[in-house]
Amino acid sequence: MNGAQRICYTRNFEDVILQRVFANMPEGCYVDVGASAPVIDSNTYALYTQGWRGICIDPMRVTDWAAVRPGDVFIGAALGASPGETTFHIYESTLQISTASPETKDHWAVRGGIDPSRSVTVPVRTLDEVLEEHLAGRTLHLVSIDVEGMEEDVLRGFDLQRHRPWLILLEAVKPGTAEPNHGAWEPVLLNNGYRMVYFDGVNRFYLAEEQLHLQRSFRLPPNVWDNFIPFRQLQLERRVQELEKKRR
């Protein structure tokens, strides 16, 4: 194992893969759609700590993004195929499953008897519109999309011929299940010159055809050679060290 130890902030090791793919790129640009929290379970925070910067988009501001990630632009909106407004259903007990999808709302009601705590009206923007305003000529290396059933809507507002992110990853299962849900939106990517190169059980990873030299980074799942430690484990180890010091 070579190099500094990496920290994994995600539960399914998505950012371990991303740190491997972009290991030789100390400064890059991402767009994080459905960003939720800035640190825990963030696909992009590990890259942020390494010098990357980008645009984070979510209808809810669950914490002070400017204090935690001052180098990023935060957009408080949902993304869709066209600008406007939509109803956003918020689940206070599990904010990450909050959604603007009526189908996902019904799915949670049937699957677990879970109803939203409240519903609010939020603005809808297109990803093209956001990039036009905030990308500022930068090369877009990564787009992460986690929108609880709204994937196709996001992609319909995203010109993949004009904007060519090197890598796109999307949550590709029905919320709270292992059942695939990529059938409706994957053709949008395939028809625009993207190839699926990895599935981690939750997310599907797509490389632009002109970036297929990066495909070798997806040959193996996260493993000991990635030299990483989960952030939650690191927090516990630090807490144990603090307690041991107090006992001395």
- Ordered by start, the domain boundaries in the chain are 7-82+127-247
pLDDT digits (tens, 9 = 90+) for 78-88: 999 999 999 98
pLDDT value, residue 110: 81
133: left (phi over 0), alpha (psi -120 to 50) or beta: alpha
Q: How far apart (Å, rounded) are the C-alpha atoms in residues 134 and 126?
A: 13
- Cα-atom radius of gyration of the chain, to the nearest Å? 18
Q: How far apart (Å, rounded) are the C-alpha atoms in residues 235 and 186?
A: 37
Sign of the alpha-carbon torsion through 217, 218, 222, 224: negative
Name residues whose C-beta falls within 8 Å of residue 138's C-beta, 6 or more positions apart in sequence: 29
Q: Is the pLDDT of residue 93 over 80?
A: no
Q: Is the pLDDT of residue 61 over 90?
A: no
Residue 5 DSSP code: P
What are the phi and psi torsion angles at 233 (to 5°)? -65, -40
Predicted confidence band of residue 109 (pLDDT cuts 50, 70, 90): confident
Average pLDDT over every residue of 123-128: 97
pLDDT value, residue 241: 85
pLDDT digits (tens, 9 = 90+) for 142-185: 999 999 889 999 999 999 999 999 999 999 998 888 999 999 99
pLDDT digits (tens, 9 = 90+) for 212-241: 999 999 999 999 999 999 999 988 888 888
Average pLDDT over every residue of 36-47: 94
Q: Lowest mean pLDDT: which of 58-72, 90-104, 135-149, 217-231?
A: 90-104
What are the phi and psi torsion angles at 72 (to 5°)? -95, 155
pLDDT value, residue 213: 97
Sign of the alpha-carbon torsion through 109, 115, 121, 127: negative
pLDDT value, residue 31: 98
pLDDT value, residue 177: 87
Q: Is the pLDDT of residue 1 over 60?
A: no
Beta-bridge mates of residue 143? 31, 168
Q: How far apart (Å, rounded) are the C-alpha atoms in residues 131 and 157?
A: 11
pLDDT value, residue 198: 98
Q: Residue 56 corresponds to which tokens in the numbers above?
A: 């984070």
The answer to whether residues 122 and 86 touch, using CB atoms and an 8 Å cutoff, is yes
pTM above 0.95, yes or no: no
Q: Is the pLDDT of residue 33 over 80?
A: yes
Alpha helices, H only, 59-180 = 65-68, 102-112, 127-134, 151-156
CATH number of 7-82+127-247: 3.40.50
Q: Is the pLDDT of residue 32 over 70?
A: yes
